[in-house]
Amino acid sequence: MAGAFAEDAGRAGADRARTMARSCPAIRAGRLARSVRPQGGP
């Protein structure tokens, strides 16, 4: 049950992050820089 809840929360968070990234080029640029230059974490 807790696992399913966490999975739903994670999906909602990912959708929200995707929407914010689409509406804010600065966030998208920062995320792109982070993915190109990973700093020892996910």
How does pLDDT run across 17-36, given as a tens digit for each residue?
A: 677 656 666 666 777 776 66
Model pLDDT, residue 13: 74
What's the chain's average pLDDT?
Answer: 66
Whether the predicted pLDDT of 1 surpasses 60:
no
Q: Is 24 helix (H, G, I), strand (E, B) or coil?
A: coil
28: left (phi over 0), alpha (psi -120 to 50) or beta: alpha
CA dist 31 and 13 (Å) reads 15
Whether the predicted pLDDT of 41 surpasses 60:
no
Model pLDDT, residue 6: 59
For 40, what's the count of Cα atoms within 13 Å in the CB-facing half-sphere? 0
pLDDT band at 12 (very low <50, low <70, confident <90, very high): confident
